[in-house]
Amino acid sequence: MTLRVGHVVTSGVFSLDGEDFDVDNNIWLVGDEREVVVIDAAHDHRPIVEAVAGRRVLGVLCTHGHNDHINAAAELAEAVEAPIWLHPDDGMLWDVVYPDRRVDDSLRDGASIAVGGEDLTILHTPGHSPGGCCIQVPSLGLVFSGDTLFNGGPGATGRSFSSHDVLVGSIRSRLFVLPDETVVHTGHGDSTTIGREARNLDGLTDVVDWDPGSPDAAS
């Protein structure tokens, strides 16, 4: 069966370093008619359960540990009886939201997760957070970038546990080596392509971080 991509948008609050931002989050589902994985369970698990539509959920994959990407993960995992996956370098962020609940498995660089007869590949892309990951689906020619790369530039840095230089290095070495036509489904806002974002490669270290919590980043 052919993989298909589902999309849900939820709204809530991103909180870090004593600041709160109203945000809209993209939740992505990848699977076939029988099984699916969920990428970034944000804010409200109920519309995600509806999008799952009775399929077997193989995992709730968290691209990173910021609260707005995980704050519906535990409720979703319980509702659909699925494990939660997160890179271990973001454990300290997870613990802020879920001090009494551990993740079930670790996202590891280069690991493959099979769904619908196809492999999803984990790309560790630190910078926005230490354990930030992107999830590539080679058979569909796309990558889910979380908050690593957006339509218009790299994810935000300047907060706890982030590094602009590390993020730029991750984008250069892990994402801009993918084919130009690769579709990038982001954690906030509109999708883009690797080719479109790579055109800014030479000036990437000079651009202002694209922050999904900022007033100028509504789209």
Residue 116 lies in a domain: yes
**Mean pLDDT across the stretch 131-138?**
98
pLDDT on residue 93: 98
Helices 73-80 and 45-52 pack at an angle, to 10 degrees, of 40
Q: Quick one: pLDDT at residue 116?
A: 96
Angle at 34 between CA 137 and CA 94, to 5 degrees: 60
Q: What is the dihedral of CA 140, 126, 164, 72, to 10 degrees?
A: 80
- Predicted pLDDT at 201: 65
CA dihedral 136, 27, 132, 153 (to 10 degrees): 80
On the question of pLDDT at 64 being above 90, the answer is yes
Each residue of 106-124: pLDDT tens digit?
999 999 999 999 999 999 9
Quick one: pLDDT band at residue 214, thresholds 50, 70, 90? very low
Residues 47, 25: Cα–Cα separation, whole Å:
13
What mean pLDDT value characterizes the chain? 92
Within a domain: 136 = yes
Assigned domain for 163 exists? yes
The whole-number pLDDT of residue 88 equals: 98
Range of the domain at 70: 4-210
Flag whether 67 is in a domain.
Answer: yes
- pLDDT at res. 151: 95
pTM tops 0.85? yes
Q: How many domains does the chain have?
A: 1
pLDDT band at residue 139 under the 50/70/90 scheme:
very high
- How high is the pLDDT of residue 200? 78
Instruction: Judge whether 215 lies within some domain.
Output: no
Mean pLDDT of 132-161: 96
- Domain assignment present for residue 152? The answer is yes
Q: How many CA atoms lie within 13 A of 23 on its CB side?
A: 26
Query: Does 217 fall in a domain?
Result: no
Residues 41-69, mean pLDDT to the nearest whole number = 98
Percentage of the residues of the chain whose pLDDT score is greater than 70: 91
Task: Give the CATH number for residue 146.
Answer: 3.60.15.10
